[in-house]
Amino acid sequence: MALVGFLLLAGAAIAGALGVVLQRNALYGALSLVGVFVATAVLYLMLSAPFLAVLQLIVYAGAIMVLFIFVIMLISVRYEESGESAGVPGGTKRYTAMGLAAVLVILFSILSFKMALTPSGTRSLGGITELGLALYQKYMFPFEVASILLLVAIVGALSITRRHGRGLEGNVAMEKEV
Amino acid sequence: MLQLFWLIPLLPLFGFLVNGLGLKWMPRKAAGWLACGVVGAAFAIGVGALLAIMGRPVADRAVTQVLFPWIMAGDFHVNIAFMWDPLSAVMTLIVTGVGFLIHVYSLGYMAHDEGFKRYFAYLNLFTFAMLVLVLADNFLLLFVGWEGVGLCSYLLIGFWYTKKSAADAGKKAFIVNRIGDFGVLVAMMLTFWTLGTLTFPDVFHRAQTLLPPGSAVPTAIALLFFLGAAGKSAQIPLYVWLPDAMEGPTPVSALIHAATMVTAGVYLFVRASGMFVLAPQALAVVAVIGALTAIFAATIGLVQTDIKRVLAYSTVSQLGYMFLAVGAGAFVAAIFHLLTHAFFKALLFLGSGSVIEACHHEQDIRKMGGLGAKLPITKNTFIIGSLALAGVPIFAGFFSKDEILYSAFTSQLGGLGKFLWVIGAAAALLTAFYITRLVALTFYGKPRDKHIYDHAHESPRVMTVPLMILAVLSTVGGFLGLPLAEHANVMHNWLGPWVGGHGAEEMEGAGQGATSAAHAAAGHSAGLEVALMAISVALAILGIWAAWRTYVKEPSRAQALATRFAGLYRVLWNKYYIDEIYNAVIVQPVVAGSRILWRVFDVGFIDWIVNGAGRMMRGLAGYLRPFQNGLAGSYAAAIMLGAILIMGYVLLGGWH
Amino acid sequence: MAPSPALFQVLAAVLFSIGVMGVLFRRNILVIFMCVELMLNAANLSLIAFAHTLGNVDGQVVVFFALAVAAAEVSVGLAIIIDLFRKKGTVDVEQVSLLKG
C-alpha cells in the first residue's frame, strides 16, 4: 500500500520536475515546481517528518515560489516573445544532457542498493518535540547563525536592487520602469 | 733589502692603480714621473737584493717569500709566492733596468700624445705582470704573469685603437698567443697530473726522481710548453703577430717586443730546464725550430722597408738563437744572449723611435737617407747597437751569440748540432747585412725626401740619455760572459748551478768547481772555440762590407740586385706569403665554420626550439580559449562534470 | 508494504539529475534558478529519507537549516537577477557572456 502511494507521489514529482525543465513558458515552469514541492512534502510525511513537510509547504511553496512568480511576471513574461528557442536544445546537447543525468542516477542507485538500508521502526521521529529539542540543544549555534544569515540576505537583497542616490524611493521606482 | 724583494712587482702595480684609477685627475707630469719612479724604485730594490744574495754561498742563494696561500684544494696547493734566486734576479734587473730607461724615454716620445696617462698606466701594468712572471715560484703564478703580459701587449699594440690596423694587430697578437697558451695550460695540467705539484723546486726534484729521461711524459710536457713559448716568443709557426705588433708606440716595441715579454718563453725554458733535460728529443726539436726561425726571419728582414719591421724580424731571428741555445742545452748562454739582446735591441728600437719622431712619424726608410748629419747622437748610438747585433767583437752581441753557436756545435745533438751551427752562422751573416743596410739607408747617403730631411732634428735629452746608457751597456755588457776564462765568466758562475737540473749536491761543491766540471765533461776545447769565433767574426765583417758596398758606395747595385732576382725579392718582401697562407688555410675555414654554426645551429635550430616553445604555447592557448566563452551555463556544465567524476570515483569505492 | 529506503534515494537522484539538466541547458536565468531549487529539494529529500532510515533526527535538522538558507539564497539571487535585467535588458544567459575570453 505504501509502495503504491510512493510510486504515485514519485511519478508526480518527476512529472513536475520535467515540467520545470521542459516548459518554454517560465510561469508554467514555476507552477510545475510548486507541484514538485507539494509531492515532496507528502513524501516527507511518509518519512515521519511532519513538521518539515509543513515547513516545506509554507516556506518553499508559499514564500519562495511566490517570490519567483513575482519576478517572472515582472521580467520574463514580456521577454518570452523575443523568442527563446525551444526549451530544450537539440542535437548533441540533448543527448549529452540525458547521458549525464543517466550516469548520475545510475551511480546513486548503485550506491543506495549497495548500502542495504533497513528502516528502523521509530515513527515519532519528526515531530515538533524532537525537532525542537534538537534545535535548541544540540544545534543552538547554527540556529543563531541561520538567523543572522537571514538578516544578511535581507540587507543584501535591498542593497543590490537599490537605485543609487535615490534612497528608499529608488525601490519604489522599480514598478514604473520595468 | 732582500726581505723587501716582494715589493718589486707591487710597486709598478701601485703605479698602475694610481694612474689607471686617476686618469681624470692625475696631472700629466706627475703621472709620468710616478710611473718612472716606481720602476726605478723596483730596480733599486732589485740591485739591493742581488747584492744580498751575491754574498751568500752558492747553495744558499734562493729565497722564497710567500705572500698568501692561493689555492688549497685537496692535493693541489699553490701559493702567491715569489722566489728570488740568481735567475730571477737577472731577469728582474733586465725588466726593471731596461724598463726604467724606456719609461723615461717615453716621457719624451709620448709627450704630445693624448693618451699619455693611459699609456703609462698600461706600461706599469705590463711591468707588474712581467715581474710576476719572472718572480713566480710556481707554474700557475707564472702563467698569471704570462697572461697578464699578453693582455698588456694587446692593450699597448692597439694603443691607438681608432686606427684599424692597430686594433687588428692587437687582436692578432692576442689570438695567436692564445694558441700558445693552450699548450702551456695542457703542459701544466700534465705536470700536475704526473708530479702532483706546480711549485718549482718540487717539480724539478720529483721530475728527476720519477720521470725516466727520454720518456713520453717529459717530452710531451716540453713540447707543449714550447708551443706556448713559440706563441709568446714568436717562433715558427706562431711568430706572425710580432711584425704586426709594430703598430704600437715604439717604446712599447722596445720594451715588450724586444727586451722583455718575448723573452718570457726563453725564461720559461731556462727556469724549467731541470725538467727539460729529461726530454732530449724535445730539446732537439726546440733547437731546430730556433735555428730555422733565426734564418727564416733574417731573410725576410733583408728587404723590408719599414724601419721597425726590420727590427721586428731581427727580434724574431735573435729569439731563434736563444731557443737554439736552449735546445742545445746551453741554458746560461740563452740567458746571456737574452741579456745582451735586451740592451742592444732596446737601443735599436729606441733609436728608431728617435728617427721616426724626427721624420714626423715617417717609418719608410726609402724616404730617409743622410739623417746622420742631423741626428748625431741617434746615429752614433744606433751604430753601436748595430755592431752589437751583428756580433762584432767587444760589443755585447759578439760574446753571447758566439757562445750560442759554439754550444750548438759541441752539444749533445752531435751531427745535428753541427748542421745547426751552419744555419746559425749563415743567419749571422744575414744579420750583419740587414742591419748595416738599415743603418746605411737611414743615416747615410743622399737624402731621398727633401721635406723630411729639412725638418729633421735631434731628440730631446729625455730620449737621448737612455740611448746613451743603453749604448754603454751594449758595449761593455758582453764582458759578463767572457769565454775561455772560467773564473771570470760571471754569467756561468752566477747562473750555472741554477739551471739545467744540477742537483743540490753539485751546488754544495761550490759554483766554480761544478761549472768547470760540467764544461770539462762536455769536451771543452779552447782551440775549437777560438776557431769558431774567428769564423763568425769573419762572417760579420763580410756581411757589413757587402751591405756597405751595396747601399752606400754604389746604391744602384741594390736596385740591380732586386731586378735580377725579382721573383725571390717579391717572395721575401711579402714575407713568404705566410700571412696569406694562414688566412686561407686556417682563418677562412674557421670563419666559414662559425658562420655555419651561427646560421644552421644557433638561428636555425636553437631559435627554432625557443620560438617553437612560444608557438606551442600560443597553439595550446588558442585551443583552450573557446572554453572560456563567458557563458555561465557551460561553466556550470563543467562543474557538474567534475562533480560527477568525483562522485563516481568516491561512490565506486575509490577514496575513503 | 513499505518502499525500500533505497527507492527514496533513487528518486532523489532522479530529481537531482533532472535539475542538473535544466541548469545546464536552459537559457532563461529564472528557469535555471528554479532548477537549482529543484536540486536543493532533491537533496533535502535524500536527507530526510536517511534520517528516517537511520532513526536519527539530525538529518531533519539539516534540512531545516537548508530550508532557511534556500530562502535567503532565493531572495538575494532574485535581487541579482533583477539588477542584471536592469543592466542588460535580457535574462538570456547566452547574451551575457562578459566573462568571455
Closest CA to B146 of B101, B102, B180: B180
Residue with cell 525500500: C4
Q: Own/partner pairs for B374-377, CB < 8 Å, 24+ apart?
A: B374/B453, B374/B456, B374/B457, B374/B458, B375/B443, B375/B456, B375/B457, B375/B458, B375/B459, B376/B458, B377/B458, B377/B459, B377/B464, B377/B467, B377/B468
Are residues C101 and B640, on separate chains, in Cβ contact within 8 Å?
no
The residue type at B44: A
Closest CA to B389 of B379, B378, B400: B400
B77 confidence band (pLDDT: 50, 70, 90): confident
Angle CA B464–B466–B472, to nearest 5: 105
The residues spanned by each domain of chain A are 1-78, 127-163
Are residues A112 and C9, on separate chains, in Cβ contact within 8 Å?
yes
Residue % of chain B over a pLDDT of 70 = 93
Q: Which residue has the higher pLDDT, B179 or B60?
A: B179
Give chain C's domains with CATH numbers: 5-91 (1.10.287.3510)
Q: Is the pLDDT of residue B163 over 70?
A: yes
In a 3-state reduction of DSSP, which class is residue A125? coil
Instruction: Retrieve residue B387's grid coordinates.
Output: 755592431
Are residues C13 and A43, on separate chains, in Cβ contact within 8 Å?
no
The residue type at B213: P
| CA-based nearest distance C11→chain A, Å | 7
Inter-chain contacts counted by CB atoms under 8 A, chains A and C: 249
C38 vs A10, A20, A84: nearest CB: A20
Predicted confidence at residue B419, as pLDDT, reads 87
Show residues of chain B in contact with C94, CB under 8 Å.
631, 633
Predicted confidence at residue B556, as pLDDT, reads 73
B6 confidence band (pLDDT: 50, 70, 90): confident
Touching subunits of C (3+ CB pairs, under 8 Å) are A, B
> Quick check: B647 contacting A, CB < 8 Å?
yes
Q: Report the CATH fold assignment for A1-78.
A: Four Helix Bundle (Hemerythrin (Met), subunit A) (1.20.120)
B72 confidence band (pLDDT: 50, 70, 90): confident
Are residues A100 and B647, on separate chains, in Cβ contact within 8 Å?
no
- Cβ-in-10-Å burial (0-12, 13-18, 19+) of C25 comes to buried
Touching subunits of A (3+ CB pairs, under 8 Å) are B, C
| CA-based nearest distance C17→chain B, Å | 10
Residue % of chain B over a pLDDT of 90 = 27
Are residues C3 and A56, on separate chains, in Cβ contact within 8 Å?
no
A165 confidence band (pLDDT: 50, 70, 90): low
Distance from C-alpha of B144 to C-alpha of B9, rounded to nearest angstrom: 13
Show residues of chain B in contact with C91, CB under 8 Å.
none
Q: Are B120 and B96 in contact (CB under 8 A)?
A: no
Distance from C-alpha of B593 to C-alpha of B254, rounded to nearest angstrom: 38
Ramachandran assignment for B215, one of left (phi > 0), alpha (psi -120 to 50 degrees), beta (any other): beta
Q: Which residue has the higher pLDDT, B318 or B494?
A: B318
pTM: 0.69
- List Cβ neighbours of B194 (8 Å cut-off, separation of 6 or more): B210, B211, B217
Closest CA to B431 of B346, B592, B546, B554: B546
The residue type at B640: M
| CA-based nearest distance C40→chain A, Å | 11
Are residues B631 and C20, on separate chains, in Cβ contact within 8 Å?
no
Write the DSSP assignment of B399-417 as a string of letters: HHHHHHHHHHHHSTTTHHH
Site from C75, C80, C88 to mutate, A interface, most A CB atoms within 10 angstroms: C75
Predicted confidence at residue B524, as pLDDT, reads 58
Residue with cell 736552449: B326
Q: What number of helices (H) and strands (E) belong to chain A? A: 9, 0
Which residue of chain C is at minimal alpha-carbon distance from A85?
A: C27
B644 vs A104, A110, A111: nearest CB: A104
Distance from C-alpha of B432 to C-alpha of A100, rounded to nearest angstrom: 107
Are residues C53 and A67, on separate chains, in Cβ contact within 8 Å?
no
Under DSSP, the state recorded for A51 is: H
Are residues A21 and C21, on separate chains, in Cβ contact within 8 Å?
yes
CB count, 10 Å around CB of B167?
17
Model pLDDT for residues C53-85, shown as the tens digit of each residue: 887 888 899 999 999 999 999 999 999 988 888
